[in-house]
Chains A and B, each alone.
Chain A
Amino acid sequence: MAELPSLLAAHARLAILSLSVALLMALPAGVLAHRRPALGRVLVTAAGVVQTVPGLALLALMVPLLAALALPSIGLLPAFLGLTLYGVLPALQNTVAGLGSVDDAYREAARGVGMSERQMLLRVELPLALPVIVAGVRTAAVWTVGMATLSTPIGAPSLGNLIFAGLQTRDLGDVLLGCLGSAALALLLDGLIRGLEVGARTRRPGLVRGASLGLGAFVLAAFLPLLGGPERAALRIGAKTFTEQYVLAELLVAEAEAAGADAEVVSSLGSTVVFDALASGELDVYVDYSGTLWATLMERELGGATRAEVLAGVRAWLRETHGIEVLAALGFENAYAFAVRRETAAAGVRTLADLAARSPRLRVGADYELFRREEWRAVAEGYGFAFAERRSMDPALLYEALARGDVDTIGAFGTDGRLDAFDLVVLEDPRALLPPYDALVLGRAGLSDAFPAVAARLRALAGTIDAPAMRAMNASVDAAGEPPRDVARAWLAERSPRAASAP
């Protein structure tokens, strides 16, 4: 709630910047496209192709693209670029259509009274095309504001922060707040642009002045917070898009602050985005899991390696390839695990081998990632899975879907508080095909030199959180609805007497 004003402003800033640049590109391109139809078809097609890329994917694609160009790859820049590209099409298309709709009789009249081609464009063609062009601008404005919520996973704060985090932590109030905020911004911007156009067209100076003042105030309100000084804290701590990550990020912030550093959470990042950001130094710290790094980034064979071997391998690989330090293994694993309802377990499904035997009659659900990950391939081939149906869904919905019977088994996270809350049973992996998933605090290259006190404090977290503790913290958020920040600080407060007494 407290962050609503700053998220609104950040959201509006992002939308205003992207929309402005999109229009600066689209309007001249539209004029050019109208003048030279062959080129116009190329431009409109290109903008149309961009539009066919789903919004979230377009924004996410900017991350590796910028990283390859050695530019800041998370945060404002990729979000700005993605949104800008997205906003071009409606404005471009409507500029072309608007100019095309101008009756040639007016062009002949414009030439006949002695206008040059440029004067004709500015004084006749554009004014006559204005209503159609403005309709495109308004569409672009509404799309851009709406899509700006998707910039959260690539590290640009927006109202999406409320939506993504709210979905994960089952805080529907936050989700609603994010949606309503975004809708209100979109309607406001749309209304102001429309007011400006109607005022200009019908020559109502009062309306033009009102709409201009409104737009000015909108921009001012969005950018004014920047004058308050740099928003960026000294340390940026990343979190992926699930509850445990929010809790741990808050915990790390609290520890960094205790070590005297100013720190902030950059939350709801995509899982490869967050690693790339750490590798490029845009994030300072986040928590990842040994098995994820082992399977996804190192592309190592699954099965056979012990927990210690995986941990050692990951530690060495991170240091050698990215200079990243494993500051601490927190002490628990959050493994991918397959869970079933208690009655399924009672019917004799205890292991992944049992599950495979019955899989042709069963439906499996998982988050967006699992079916594409090495871990899935390993267990599916290793045990011979042949499920009747696979369903990908948001992790926030997964446990409930299993409990309700929408699916028969899910790819779950071993420390998720909802396993207990919904009375679910985790299946054994007798062939140890799923790798160990030690939760590791990762620090960017050079962190311990720049912030020795913080690094020392985070190293001291090694082995302090066991699986039941983590599961309890997750449940406090998911089931009891407590904010991750409070849960993290409560845990630290409870621990501190012991920590203080430690040598």
Chain B
Amino acid sequence: MSAPAIRLRGVTKRYGERAVVRDLDLDVAPGELVVLLGASGSGKTTLLKTINRLVPPDAGRIELAGEDVSALPSSALRRRIGYVFQKVGLFPHLSVAENVGITPRLLGWEPARVAARVARLLRAMGLPEDVADRFPAALSGGQQQRVGVARALAAEPEVVLFDEPFGALDPVTRDRLQALVEGLRGTFAGVFVTHDVPEALRLGDRIAVLHEGRIVQLGPPEELVRAPAHAQVAALFEAPARQAEAFARLRSGDG
């Protein structure tokens, strides 16, 4: 069996006395999308950022495809990992095409190859062709985050990290972007942070529920829903379940 695309062993991060991520293990298989789900402060974003060292871990070991990456320079490590930012993080002084092409250019790709890759990605993201030369400020929030996803995928990474990327979008736009990520499923190993339960259920091959810096349950969505192994997990699903029932009653006219 091939090595997992991402392997975390004993990863720990403390801020002062407080451990935000505690001695945590996680494997992500090639092509698999693992969602980190949890309340605010559960440590899910911190854990995500330890993978590309935006947050350097205090202890533990991180492997990509079986290779210990602790010796890699941070910038080299990050060029191998796509990252979709929570606040979008497109550079306002660069055009859409320049934003998307950043990492390939840092890796020294030929300009023609960068241009072709950018054009293909913008098309794949469902963006009109004329956005390429525009500046991020001229785009809608949904378009901006499509560009953000394109930028993360630009250098053909084997690993892509998503830091609550759709949290600020309206429900319709969010639905479309979730569909976009679903469509990309299998082309990379992904870790996706969200506190939105339906989003986690829709996108995750497996879901890891975090509580106080530990994974309290890890499994496919149906397993978590049917057999919550922890009070926190059960609590997480209660609210969306009630909402779904209320929605179903309204739709059937039983209300």
Chain A residues within 8 Å of B, Cβ to Cβ: 105-106, 108-116, 119, 124, 127-128, 201
Cβ contact within 8 Å between A112 and B106: no
Within the complex, the shortest CB–CB distance from B75 to chain A, in Å, comes to: 5
Cβ contact within 8 Å between B89 and A127: no
- B91 proximity list for chain A (CB < 8 A): 106, 109-110, 124, 128
Closest to A127 in B: B93
- A113 proximity list for chain B (CB < 8 A): 78-79, 83, 102-103, 106, 151
Q: In the complex, A297→B102 CA distance in Å? A: 68
Within the complex, the shortest CB–CB distance from B33 to chain A, in Å, comes to: 19
B87 contacts chain A at the CB level, 8 A cutoff = yes
- B106 proximity list for chain A (CB < 8 A): 113-115, 119
Most chain A CB atoms below 10 A, which of B54, B89, B90, B151: B89
Cβ contact within 8 Å between A201 and B93: yes
Cβ contact within 8 Å between A114 and B79: yes
Within the complex, the shortest CB–CB distance from B95 to chain A, in Å, comes to: 8
Cβ contact within 8 Å between A106 and B75: no
Of A109, A114, A128, which one neighbours B89 at CB under 8 angstroms?
A109
- B103 proximity list for chain A (CB < 8 A): 113-114
Q: 7 other contacts beyond A105-B87, A108-B85, A109-B89, with CB at 8 A cut-off?
A: A106-B91, A109-B85, A112-B54, A112-B78, A112-B83, A113-B106, A113-B151
Of A105, A119, A201, which one neighbours B85 at CB under 8 angstroms?
A105
Within the complex, the shortest CB–CB distance from B137 to chain A, in Å, comes to: 12
Within the complex, the shortest CB–CB distance from A98 to chain B, in Å, comes to: 13
B52 contacts chain A at the CB level, 8 A cutoff = yes
Within the complex, the shortest CB–CB distance from A26 to chain B, in Å, comes to: 22
Closest to B99 in A: A113
B184 contacts chain A at the CB level, 8 A cutoff = no
Q: In the complex, A108→B89 CA distance in Å? A: 8
Within the complex, the shortest CB–CB distance from A309 to chain B, in Å, comes to: 76
- B167 proximity list for chain A (CB < 8 A): none
The 10 closest A-B pairs by CB, nearest first: A109-B89, A114-B79, A114-B78, A112-B83, A116-B75, A127-B93, A105-B87, A113-B102, A113-B103, A114-B106
- B78 proximity list for chain A (CB < 8 A): 111-114
B179 contacts chain A at the CB level, 8 A cutoff = no
B92 contacts chain A at the CB level, 8 A cutoff = yes
- B75 proximity list for chain A (CB < 8 A): 111, 114-116, 119
- B73 proximity list for chain A (CB < 8 A): 116
B244 contacts chain A at the CB level, 8 A cutoff = no
Q: In the complex, A468→B92 CA distance in Å? A: 75
Chain B residues 97-119 with CB under 8 Å of chain A are: 102-103, 106-107
